[in-house]
Amino acid sequence: MVLRGPVRTAARRFAEVVCPPGVRAGDRTDRVLGELELMLGALQPTARTAVAAVFVLIDQAARLHPRARGRRLGRLDDEAADAYLRALLARPGTAAQLAGRLKSLVVMCYYELPEARREIGYDPDPYITAVSRRRLDRYSADIRATEAGVAAPDPWQDRR
Amino acid sequence: MSPLPGLVGQADVGGDIVVDCGAVIVGSGAGGATMAAELSEAGVDVIVIEEGGYHPTESFGTNSCRALRTLYRDGGGGMAVGRPSVLFAEGRCVGGSTVVNGGMSWRTPARVLARWAAGGVTAISEPDMEPYFARAEGRHSVGLQDPGTVGRDSELFRGGAEAKGWTVLPNRRNQLHCAGTNNCTNGCPTGAKRSMLVTSVPRALSLGARLFADCRVDRVTRSGAAVTGVTGHFIRQGGRAGPRMTVRARAVIVAGGAVQTPALLARSGLRSASGTLGRNLSLHPNATVIAFFDEDVTGWQGVHQAFQVREFTPEGLLLTATNLTPPMLAGIMPGHGRELGELMADYNRVVTAGPLVSDSGTGRVRNVPGLGAQVFYRLTDSDAARVVRGVELTGQALFAAGARRLLLPFDGTPEARGPGELRRLLSRPVPKRSIQLYSIHLMGTARMNDDPRRGVTDSFGEFHGVPGLFVADASLFPGPTGINPMETVIALAMRNARQLVERRSRYAI
Ligand SMILES: Cc1cc2nc3c(=O)[nH]c(=O)nc-3n(C[C@H](O)[C@H](O)[C@H](O)COP(=O)(O)OP(=O)(O)OC[C@H]3O[C@@H](n4cnc5c(N)ncnc54)[C@H](O)[C@@H]3O)c2cc1C
């Protein structure tokens, strides 16, 4: 799914506000949106449409927030945008729930970026390579024997 | 070209397909793949239809979002609607949820089997089930972790629980020298986790079964009371509907998991006189406590989950610590923007742990035309109270292990900076709707019972009143297991396959 027009604008501003400030470095926001598009592609069509609508709704509903003075989220400065989303997320009810789910989805996409992972000290690939090699070094005979037995006959011996 | 003999994916299919077989199995997860292997071994001509794609071990990496898109249904974002709603995840790929699960492999507790027997299921006592558990464990290399594969997060949690004097068990897991890569939920990158993808699926195929992946079954077909097969369609890249699939079969085995199975049966026009099809959903609600330590924990180095606190199982509570990848942790962290960044900066000093509640089964799956399976769930007051108690116990263990502060899974609750504060915070009523819950154990929506007025299937999974139609997945459970359910699904599928083979002449398979 490709985010276009007002939905993309709304999603972009939402991502800038909910993700850590590092999202603004380089092309990270675009890449978060790219990851988000892929995630939306995995949803059912009705859910995709609903997500797009919620982005636009959140953008427009900012107009009702006292500090927004009638402006939508995309037009708010960082402080006002942050205050609006804080208020929205803290309000009990469905609106907060929907906004919360979108926030989860977007920040998940952010923490998939390799540099965001590195910045928090998560670098699993060399570790996985090392422990996988150790596994093969230590247990290869047993592993080979088990793999070879996957299709071995195993009929029930007794009759009930 | 498919890398496994007998495997056909959407890319291999140009036009509509019609095939004949003895038994068609819907779903290749714990129940479906086991059935396929057992029936194929007995010489039954088997076709398996799997909605998800084939993703081999070599394709698994550490990108969680990619895994959610390719290996899970709806990107892992299922929701059981209620107050509170419960997020849930199901696998959708060749091998089903076993490809993405944590690999905990436990027998159904004897007290649970006794309850099921008392409720109207025959041949389900512990001695009855023993040969199937043994076979399941042999087939899937169930055992304890090798030394040196347990992470610091697990050790801290174990230490905290033991300091409280609680019983802690090392996990039994379906693993062949698991290296502790902590990548279970993205697919095991070494093949050490003995999921269906590397055990019963290749076994069934090598014994002659055929598997159609990327193919969704839309309906079970019937002629009068007898089943005649299934119809469905292939799913093209990007989700477009592809060619149609028709399977003519003398037995139909539905193993789509506890959400999809009742929805498929309902949209096929099947009704249960018991009125329980789609009802009775249990989902073992889980809640997560996020604990911050002063020391470097680096929980992603070591097995996904190594221990279970069993002290409170009589109360229906199991406590565990499980490491989450950064996207998964960020997804449940409170706060946004700078605040979220500051919390996540401590990623390597975090331990995530929480309770799993053996719930009272008050959910429901409905098939809504155009939308598919929709799930509804009502958390009972007593289950909610147990979640809160489980969170408090988890927090006590984490503080005993040296945690400095805890984030609790209740909206609007401040962080707890010590055991006293935790107790104070949780001594006030916690509004039910503020509890953040998720589930990975869905069960019970086509429960077995020999009495057609009380169950959807008989004790061996045959749909009451529809000869030749079987259910073979977690839907069959009469109630929650209170522990990880996969081995129960596998053992029941082995038992029910054996029964089916012994009666094969009835179905001409
Ligand atoms: C993230 C995660 C972690 C877990 N951890 C553990 C654990 O550590 N230990 C444990 O015991 N359990 C665990 N579980 C639960 C366990 O994996 C399941 O209980 C078990 O796999 C259920 O087996 P099943 O056969 O009912 O369904 P599944 O294994 O989910 O298989 C169902 C399959 O049917 C397919 N399907 C559904 N509908 C259709 C259709 N209409 N047409 C074609 N195909 C269809 C699906 O795509 C899926 O592949 C976990 C689950 C998850 C999601």
Give tens-digit pLDDT for B130-169: 999 999 999 999 999 999 999 999 999 999 999 999 999 9
Is the pLDDT reported for residue B1 higher than 60? no
Interface contact A46-B68, CB threshold 8 A:
no
Residues B193 and B184 sit within 8 Å (Cβ to Cβ):
yes
The B residues from 90 to 119 touching A (CB cutoff 8 Å) are none
In a domain, A11, yes or no: yes
CB contact under 8 A, A127 and B370: no
Minimum Cα–Cα distance from B71: chain A residue:
A42
Q: What is the phi/psi pair of residue A73, to 5°?
A: -55, -40
Question: What percentage of chain A reaches a pLDDT higher than 70?
Answer: 98
Average pLDDT of every residue of chain A: 94
Category of B372 on φ-ψ map: left (φ > 0), alpha (ψ -120 to 50) or beta: left
Which pLDDT score is estimated for B105? 98
Domain of residue A141 covers: 125-151
Per-residue pLDDT tens digits for B200-242: 999 999 999 999 999 999 999 999 989 999 999 999 998 999 9
User: Quick check: helix, strand or coil at residue A104?
Assistant: helix
Name residues whose C-beta falls within 8 Å of residue B446's C-beta, 6 or more positions apart in sequence: B258, B261, B262, B265, B272, B276, B277, B278, B456, B457, B463, B471, B475, B476
In a domain, A138, yes or no: yes
Averaged pLDDT for residues B248-276: 98
Distance between CA B291 and CA A52 in Å, rounded? 34
* Residue at A159 is within a domain: no
Tokens for B422, please give them. 């935790």
B441 classed as catalytic: yes
CA distance B3 to B187: 18
Tokens coding B65: 């979002």
Q: Please name the residues in contact with B472: beta carbons below 8 A apart, sequence gap of 6 or more.
A: B25, B31, B32, B34, B35, B253, B254, B255, B461, B492, B493, B496, B497
A100 and A43: one domain?
yes
CATH numeric code, B7-141+184-236+252-281+441-445+464-507: 3.50.50.60
pLDDT number for residue A93: 82
Residue B96 neighbours by CB under 8 Å, 6+ apart: B27, B28, B29, B30, B32, B33, B50, B52, B196, B257
Is residue B32 in contact with ligand 1, taking CB distance under 6 Å?
Answer: yes
> B139: helix, coil or strand?
helix
Tell me the average pLDDT across B241-260.
98
Please give the pLDDT value at position B492.
Answer: 98
Radius of gyration, CA atoms only, chain A: 24
CA distance B53 to B55: 6
Residues A9 and A76 in one domain: yes
Is A62 in the same domain as A13? yes
Question: Total structural domains in chain A?
Answer: 2
Residue A34 forms part of a structural domain: yes
Residue A99 shares a structural domain with residue A138? no
For residues A112 and A34, state if they share a domain: yes
- Give yes or no: residues A95 and A18 share one domain: yes
B338 in reach of chain A (CB within 8 A): yes
Same domain assignment for residues A32 and A108: yes
Whether residue A33 is found in the same domain as residue A91? yes
- Specify if A64 maps to a domain: yes
Mean pLDDT, rounded, for B253-265: 98
- A38 contact residues in B (CB cutoff 8 A): 65-66, 69
- Predicted confidence (pLDDT) per residue in B28-57, tens digit: 999 999 999 999 999 999 999 999 999 999
Please check whether residue B432 is in contact with residue B82, taking contact to mean a CB–CB distance below 8 angstroms. Answer: no
Residue A13 shares a structural domain with residue A89? yes
- Give the pLDDT of residue B99: 98
Q: Sort out which chain B residues have CB atoms less than 8 A from A39's CB and list them.
A: 65, 68-69, 75
The pLDDT of residue B3 is 74
Closest listed residue to residue B266, CA positions, set B119, B371, B116:
B371
- Would you tell me which residues 13-32 of chain B have a C-beta closer than 8 angstroms to some C-beta of chain A? none
What percentage of chain B carries pLDDT values higher than 70?
A: 100
Task: Summarize pLDDT for A49-106 with one digit per residue, the tens.
Answer: 999 999 999 999 999 999 999 999 999 999 999 999 999 998 878 888 899 999 999 9
A90 plus A24 within the same structural domain: yes
Q: Do B331 and A105 touch (CB under 8 A)?
A: yes
Q: What is the mean pLDDT of residues A16-40?
A: 97
Q: Does the Cβ of B257 fall within 6 Å of ligand 1? A: yes
Q: Are B23 and B45 spatial neighbours (Cβ–Cβ below 8 Å)? A: yes
| Partner-chain residue, chosen from B75, B372, B502, that has the shortest CB–CB distance to A43 | B75
Tell me where in chain B the CATH 3.50.50.60 domain(s) lie. 7-141+184-236+252-281+441-445+464-507
pLDDT at A1 over 80: no
**Is B9 in contact with B242 (CB distance < 8 Å)?**
no
User: Is the CA virtual torsion B344, B348, B350, B356 positive or negative?
Assistant: positive
Is residue A41 located within the same domain as residue A113? yes
The architecture (CATH level 2) of B152-175+286-358+380-434 comes to 2-Layer Sandwich (3.30)
Among B486, B489, B490, B492, the mutation site with the greatest number of ligand 1 atoms within 8 A of its Cβ is B486
Q: Which residues pair with B372 in a beta bridge?
A: B368
Return the residue in A43, A109, A120, A158 with the most chain B beta carbons within 10 A, the one to mutate for interface testing. Answer: A120
Does A37 share its domain with A12?
yes
Q: Is A121's Cβ below 8 Å from some Cβ in B?
A: yes
The ipTM assigned to this model is 0.96
Average pLDDT, whole number, for chain B? 97
- pLDDT (0 to 100) of residue B280: 97
Residue A44 belongs to some domain of the structure: yes
Cβ contacts from A onto B, under 8 A: 161
What pLDDT, on the 0 to 100 scale, is given for residue B71? Answer: 98
Q: Name the helix (H) or strand (E) containing B496.
A: helix B486-502
Give the mutation candidate from A38, A131, A138, A143 for the B interface (greatest B CB count, under 10 A): A131
In a domain, A21, yes or no: yes
Whole-number pLDDT of residue A160: 61
- List CB contacts (< 8 A) between B42 and chain A: 155
> Residue-wise over B102-123: b if at least 16 C-beta within 10 A, else e?
bbbbbbbbeebbeebbebbbee
> How do strand B289-292 and strand B241-254 relate by DSSP bridges?
unpaired
Q: Measured between alpha carbons, how far is A159 from B57 in angstroms, rounded to an integer?
A: 37
